[in-house]
Chains A and B, each alone.
Chain A
Amino acid sequence: MTDTARAIDSPTATAANGKVLLKVEGLVKHFPIMRGVIQRTVGAVRAVDGVSFEVVTGETFGLVGESGCGKSTTGRTILQLYRPTAGHVWFDGLDLTRLKGNELRLMRRHMQMIFQDPYASLNPRMTINDIVGEPLLVHGIIPRSEIPDRVRELLRLVGLNPSLANRYPHEFSGGQRQRIGVARAVALQPRLIICDEPISALDVSIQAQVVNLLEDLQDRFNLTYVFIAHDLSMVRHISDRVAVMYLGILVELADRDDLYLHPLHPYTQALLSAVPVADPLVEEKRRRVILEGDVPSPINPPSGCRFRTRCPIAQEYCAQEVPAWRELRPGHWVACHYAEGGGIM
């Protein structure tokens, strides 16, 4: 059995309570690598390689990992912005991977995305009015004549002055632009919003503004978020449950506090220990696990456990056998042969 097949077969981490809005099952996305004049496929970047989880209505599901671990690709593949290589994405009971054309477009109303870069994700030739009003126009859910009023209302909702609606993106700061992106994402009153690193391009004092805005909107409209980020402190702050990704797969998933207080996977433990804490007294006492080397290439990931090349407690067995994705404690999933041993802390 190949690694991928095994990953797809592995069980989906189920959410304990609440109504499941999104179910991701064995999601795989490979990007082919082509060479030569006839563009022969010579390999694949295995960006996402068998990811399964559920997201409950109204919760914030955090997805963390370092650059290149596949977290953004997972987000885009959920929304069918990339078509998956294998696996299923169930949204409210409907398999998005089987929808096409108009059916998919109708579903998109319910699922929106907030992008990382507020400078690149807004069309510089469109006014704020047009940018925020565009989804309303495309989906035609309200009469055209009512759009300007709704746009003003949306701008007010995200804390922007509606009188600025006729300006262009370059006239706004990064934080304001991200508010525009948020206004556009909530315009259709979606049920799910994938936030792909929504604050990492912003200054610290502005990050808190945008995060507070996202939390307020969630309370008000019972929104469900998948919050993708590399900032583990911010993910702890905003998420209800958190999944940790490494090289295309999930290595650990748990309730927020459980994950941060009792991480089971050596990678999660190392990752958490590497994050600096803004308190010199805490920093003095902290034990840090320094991982050796870099993340291997997703074109040719290590056999067995993908983390074994950097894992301080790796055994020979780790190279032979892919660790099973298992629920070690209620609601706490981990993929490590030696998770019972307490890991590396």
Chain B
Amino acid sequence: MLRDLGTSPRVLDVTDLVTQFRTPEGIVHAVNGVSLHLDQGETLGIVGESGCGKSVTVLSLLRLIPSPPGEIVRGQADFLGVDLLQMSQDEIRRVRGAQIGMVFQDPMTSFNPVLTMGKQLTEPLEIHLGMTKSQANERAAELLEMVGIPNAADRLKDYPHQFSGGMRQRVMIAMGLSCTPQILIADEPTTALDVTIQAQIIELVKRLRDEIGMAIIWITHDLGIIAGLADRVMVMYGGYIIEHAPVKELYANPLHPYTIGLLGSLPRLDQQRERLTSIEGMPPILMEEPKYCPFAVRCSFVQDRCRRENPLLMSVAPQHEIACWVDVRTGRLRA
């Protein structure tokens, strides 16, 4: 594991998480031994394309994987000294939404359409913090104000459909932060939003992070958002973490062929590229246990060893880990 030089206390330490789904077609190997850690106040970005396992990773930590068909096969998730994966349903329920806040992608479907926003905002406050109705109402109005919703007290009586997409995502963030969590898990929270609204939401999250000091796990497919938001980045592919580095190091010096390909396939707003370097082929279907590197079939640096053995995440530079046999600077196997 990478260790930061910083002295912030660790809030989350995940080791060897494996999550699978049993389907009629076979077992889907969604997460294949993911380890990660999170320190107080830092922002960890998890980047990857659809089906890479980034959402399943955090849903597993929150124990929100539907079972069956899903199953957390093994792993530990040490949250302030307690293993999230060993908790009873009652215990994890007390953590979710309280010490670990959540914001999901789709602000249209994540709310209950027949309950007022006020009801949905005050419920966690009453349950987790034992507030009375009037205390909770007062706090809910404060929260809406904090995320920049005008006439906050009046808007508590409104239903979700009376809010725009951007406003709903603000309420969602207010809800995720309502019990001042240690960790905020944000799963593609701006993907459904327009770019000007996305900018509003990201500014808001940055401001609240500085005010409240929670740690954030931000999941996205957008390497642009991560560049301006995260302290450290993990790139996932085929259920594995394939690269892990501090944000500046990752963009300046990407070492895994997939990360290099991903950055090369992005058009840039601030410069003109003659041609995008696409990654040929398709992301893997996770129906088989990978016996070799999951990226080998698409990789332009591929060697014989890549087709025989699956590389583990290993340290190749200070604070920089990759899961790859090849040194992309020489094109040969790593010594």
Chain A residues within 8 Å of B, Cβ to Cβ? 66-67, 173, 175-176, 203-209, 211-212, 215, 230-234, 236-238, 256-257, 260, 270-284, 286, 288, 290-291, 294-295
Contact = CB atoms under 8 A, between A and B. Distances in A.
A321 B283 CA distance: 53
A212 B278 contact: yes
A283 B227 contact: yes
A288 B64 CA distance: 36
Interface stretch (B7-15, B32-40, B192-200): B192-200
A294 B170 CA distance: 13
Contacts of B222: 276
B129 interface: no
A52 B265 CA distance: 33
7 contacts: A205-B283, A277-B228, A278-B226, A278-B227, A278-B263, A279-B268, A279-B270
B261 A280 contact: no
B195 A66 contact: yes
Given A237-B273, A278-B251, A280-B247, A207 B199 contact: no
6 smallest CB-CB distances across A and B, nearest first, come from A276-B224, A237-B267, A283-B228, A208-B265, A208-B278, A274-B199
B225 A276 contact: yes
Contacts, number: 132
Given A236-B268, A278-B227, 5 more contacts: A208-B279, A274-B198, A277-B270, A279-B251, A283-B228
Nearest to A235: B267
A232 B195 contact: yes
Q: What is the interface of chain A mostly: helix, strand, loop, or mixed? A: helix
A205 to B, nearest CB: 4
Identify the interface centre among A204, A207, A215, A257: most chain B CB within 10 Å of its CB.
A204
Nearest to A273: B199
B158 interface: no
A279 B223 CA distance: 8
A229 B50 CA distance: 21
Contacts of B251: 278-281
Contacts of B4: none
A280 B164 CA distance: 30
A93 to B, nearest CB: 33
B269 A205 contact: no
B166 interface: yes
Given A66-B195, A236-B272, A290-B200, A278 B224 contact: yes
A281 B270 CA distance: 12
A230 B278 contact: no
Given A212-B275, A278-B223, A294-B164, A260 B196 contact: no
Contact of A207 (B195, B200, B265, B268): B265
B272 A278 contact: no
A67 B194 contact: yes
Contacts of A294: 164, 166-167, 197
Interface in B269-290: 269-270, 272-273, 275-280, 282-283
Contact of A205 (B196, B248, B262): B262
A260 B198 CA distance: 20
A232 B272 CA distance: 12
B267 A233 contact: yes
Contacts of B200: 290-291
B221 interface: yes
A233 B269 contact: yes
A66 B194 contact: yes
A281 B223 contact: no
Nearest to A213: B278
Contacts of A284: 228
Nearest to B278: A208
Contact of A275 (B224, B226, B263): B224
Interface string B43-85: 0000001100000000000000000000000000000000000
Contact of A280 (B50, B198, B203, B228): B228
A271 B195 contact: yes
B209 to A, nearest CB: 15
A279 B227 contact: yes
B219 to A, nearest CB: 14
B195 A205 contact: no
Contacts of A276: 202, 222, 224-225, 227-228
B105 to A, nearest CB: 15
Contacts of B2: none
A291 B197 CA distance: 8
A252 to B, nearest CB: 15
Contacts of A215: 275
B278 A209 contact: yes
B196 A271 contact: yes
Nearest to B200: A290
B221 A203 contact: yes
Interface string B162-173: 001011000000
Nearest to B273: A237
A203 B196 contact: no
A277 B282 contact: no
B265 A204 contact: yes
Contact of B269 (A230, A232, A270, A295): A232
Interface string B220-263: 01111111100000000000000000011001100000000111
A175 B198 CA distance: 26
Nearest to A274: B199
Contacts of A272: 269
B158 to A, nearest CB: 15
Contacts of B196: 66, 270-271, 274, 290-291
B263 A175 contact: no
Identify the interface centre among B194, B226, B275: most chain A CB within 10 Å of its CB.
B194
Contacts of B263: 278
Nearest to B194: A66
A307 B225 CA distance: 26
Contacts of A66: 194-196
A50 B283 CA distance: 43
A257 B264 CA distance: 20
A277 B194 CA distance: 16
B266 interface: yes
A234 B198 CA distance: 17
